[in-house]
Structure 1
Amino acid sequence: MDYSVEYRKNKMPMELFRQRYQDKEKFMAYCRECPRYDTVWSCPPLDIDAEAYLSRFEWINVVGAKINLERHVTEEADTADKIKDLGWKIVSEVKLCMEEKLRKLERELPGSISLSSGGCNLCRKCSRKAGQPCRLPDKMRYSLDAFGFDLSAITQDMLGIEIQWCRDRLPDYFTLVHGIMTVNEVPEKIWLSIKADIK
């Protein structure tokens, strides 16, 4: 095994969450600099009314994954290509698994919808570039950062994780931040019953 995953969760009323962590102007500027901007349906500019989309929910449940890399992995990734390829492979595996589990949780929590981490990568090439509708609208989920949320502050404050960035070497760990927005507060017993599923 090249990595292990530690899952953490926390929740907050949506109104308070937006007051603390949403800064659309600041983070949309970062999105516009990203090569995926306007090329992936999960990323800005969004094809929905973001205000109306978020205002339906009273609670947000943040689910984070701290992906701890084995030492041999960071040592073996000794070129830029290896760092990029191996990092993408590991993060994608965990991300797709988390998305699947959260879509399952949506079915147990009527009126809920999940949010992913980063741009959607369900398709090899997004249909948005060709001006066509999303191929998997029932599975595609928008990312937290697509709404202008501060992921670094969220992970530090709510999950106790400081994000490490991948630069000239693989970091000691990667961090993914997903969420599920709900109309009502999720009882702890439901979280306990699906804890094994999220892992």
Structure 2
Amino acid sequence: MYHTKIKVGSMRLSDFINKYQDQEKFMAYCRECKNYKSRWSCPPLQFNANEFLQDFHYIYLFGAQVIYDAETIKSADTPEKIRDITTQTLKEVKNKLANELLALEVKYPGSISLASGGCHLCEHCKRTDNHPCVYPEKMRHSLDSFGFDLTAITSELLQIELKWSKDSLPEYYTLIHALLTNNLHENILENFKL
């Protein structure tokens, strides 16, 4: 059905912020999203994004390409099949990627990961009921909720062209997660499995 390919890029976080963050522009997109104000992982954040980022010196970006085989692309011949395959595969890979990054947080104390898109640990996020997150130890904020330009990051830093579903399943999708840390880590992908 699919296989995955991981690309990793890293930068000093201050340079990354200067180059890729435009909160005003990207928060406008977030406000149009159904997850806005309805998931704890998404804007508006309950803290100052810039103050949060100041605690870290480096960022590692993990681009996970979910690459479909020709048979799967051909079988996705209705909007429903495209949606179902997309939902199933992206959820599987996103969960695996999130778990690998949680393991990196343990391996590199003081680091924290950021996820792609909104959190989907719960069917119904408690934020809509004004209750705290049920899984604060696992929930991670979305990379885009900090106002980062994911398209530019993906193409410039990871050399991946983003693909989107229109009337057919694309050749691949890309999920972008990150790890914020205070030190550079060689061999960060050692024992990393998707």
Instruction: Kindly state the Cα deviation for residue 99 of structure 1 after the two structures are TM-superposed.
Output: 0.4
1:4 maps to what in 2? 3
Cα distance per residue 1:47-75 (max 9 Å; x no partner): 12211111100000011101110111111
Return the alpha-carbon distance in structure 2 between the equivalents of residues 36 and 82 of structure 1. 23
Unaligned runs of 5+ in 1: none
2:192 maps to what in 1? 197
Instruction: Kindly state the Cα deviation for residue 172 of structure 1 after the two structures are TM-superposed.
Output: 0.6
Return the alpha-carbon distance in structure 2 between the equivalents of residues 180 and 172 of structure 1. 27
1:107 maps to what in 2? 106
Contact 1:62 1:179 in 2 (8 A): yes
Instruction: Kindly state the Cα deviation for residue 108 of structure 1 after the two structures are TM-superposed.
Output: 1.0
Return the alpha-carbon distance in structure 2 between the equivalents of residues 45 and 173 of structure 1. 30
2:181 maps to what in 1? 182
Question: Secondary structure of 1:195's match?
Answer: coil
1:159 maps to what in 2? 158
- Percent identical pairs in the alignment equals 44
Return the alpha-carbon distance in structure 2 between the equivalents of residues 196 and 166 of structure 1. 32
Instruction: Kindly state the Cα deviation for residue 82 of structure 1 after the two structures are TM-superposed.
Output: 1.3
2:30 maps to what in 1? 31
Point out the more displaced range, 96-105 or 72-81: 72-81
Return the alpha-carbon distance in structure 1 between the equivalents of residues 162 and 171 of structure 2. 10
Question: Secondary structure of 2:192's match?
Answer: helix
Question: Secondary structure of 2:120's match?
Answer: coil
Q: TM-score, normalised by structure 2?
A: 0.97
Q: CA RMSD in A?
A: 1.0
Instruction: Kindly state the Cα deviation for residue 196 of structure 1 after the two structures are TM-superposed.
Output: 3.2
Return the alpha-carbon distance in structure 2 between the equivalents of residues 38 and 82 of structure 1. 29
Return the alpha-carbon distance in structure 2 between the equivalents of residues 42 and 138 of structure 1. 12
Contact 1:74 1:171 in 2 (8 A): yes
2:91 maps to what in 1? 92
Letter in 1 for 2:169: L
Instruction: Kindly state the Cα deviation for residue 195 of structure 1 after the two structures are TM-superposed.
Output: 2.9
Runs of 4+ residues deviating >4 angstroms: none
Letter in 1 for 2:64: A
Question: Secondary structure of 1:82's match?
Answer: helix
Cα distance per residue 1:144-164 (max 9 Å; x no partner): 101010111101111110000
Contact 1:144 1:178 in 2 (8 A): yes
Q: TM-score, normalised by structure 1?
A: 0.94
Q: State yes or no: 1:66 paired with 2:61.
A: no
Report how many residues are paired: 194
Instruction: Kindly state the Cα deviation for residue 198 of structure 1 after the two structures are TM-superposed.
Output: 3.6
Return the alpha-carbon distance in structure 2 between the equivalents of residues 52 and 184 of structure 1. 19
2:141 maps to what in 1? 142
Contact 1:102 1:198 in 2 (8 A): no
Return the alpha-carbon distance in structure 2 between the equivalents of residues 145 and 169 of structure 1. 25
Return the alpha-carbon distance in structure 1 between the equivalents of residues 110 and 116 of structure 2. 20
Question: Secondary structure of 2:153's match?
Answer: helix
